[in-house]
Amino acid sequence: MLAEGAWFLADPDEVVLSVEAVGEELAALDRQPNSRVLLAWRGRTLVGACWLRGGRLRRVAHEASLELMVLAEERGRGVGRRLLSRAIGWAEGQPGLGRLVLAVMADNERAVALYRAQGFVEEGRRRGSVREADGRERDDLLMARTLRPAEDSLSRGG
């Protein structure tokens, strides 16, 4: 999937982890109470994945960063929307979580539309944060979605 280039930061030759190492990392993530890995299958083929990586330190443990991807030939059929909405549903059931955050290339219209439709708002734009091999610079957007009303966190504060 990384060979597509456009929507992922890592080029294929920059991914040095073995399949086993990735499996172990995802399994470890799934054991953290503020983190989760969701997989979408068509038969026995893995067609999509969404993971939430919760903050490890106490002050940021209420926030999880989200990543989402669907196999190229399976896109446009609702797999991404269903995975994202299941991830949000899971996160909303975790009392310790209050925010989901993500970074997405600003020109990734499909992903940005999907995130907006599911309640994510833009919190910032990093200009030229990605530089392609030909020198062309691209922006990315920082987006976030609150999981509970802000007054909850205010009343918890001190």
Ligand X SMILES: CC(C)(COP(=O)(O)OP(=O)(O)OC[C@H]1O[C@@H](n2cnc3c(N)ncnc32)[C@H](O)[C@@H]1OP(=O)(O)O)[C@@H](O)C(=O)NCCC(=O)NCCS
- Using CB under 6 A, list all residues that contact ligand X: 7, 68-70, 75-81, 102, 104, 108-111, 113-114, 117
Output 38 or 69, the one with its CB closest to ligand X: 69
Nearer to ligand X, 48 or 55 (CB): 48
Nearer of residues 70 and 91 to ligand X, judged by Cβ: 70
In this structure, what token pair is assigned to residue 143? Answer: 């987006």
Structure tokens at 142: 């920082």
Task: Supply the minimum distance, in Å, between the C-beta of residue 49 and ligand X.
Answer: 9
Question: Closer CB to ligand X, residue 97 or residue 105?
Answer: 105
Q: Give me the least distance between CB of 127 and ligand X, in Å please.
A: 18
Chain Cα centroid distance, residue 112? 12
What Å distances lie between residue 149 and 74, 135, 152, CA to CA?
Answer: 35, 42, 6
Q: Is 79 exposed, middle or buried (0-12, 13-18, 19+ CB in 10 A)?
A: buried
Q: Work out how close the CB of 152 gets to ligand X at its nearest, in angstroms, rounded to a whole number.
A: 27
Min separation Cβ 117 and ligand X, Å: 5
Is the four-CA dihedral 103, 104, 106, 109 of positive or negative sign?
negative
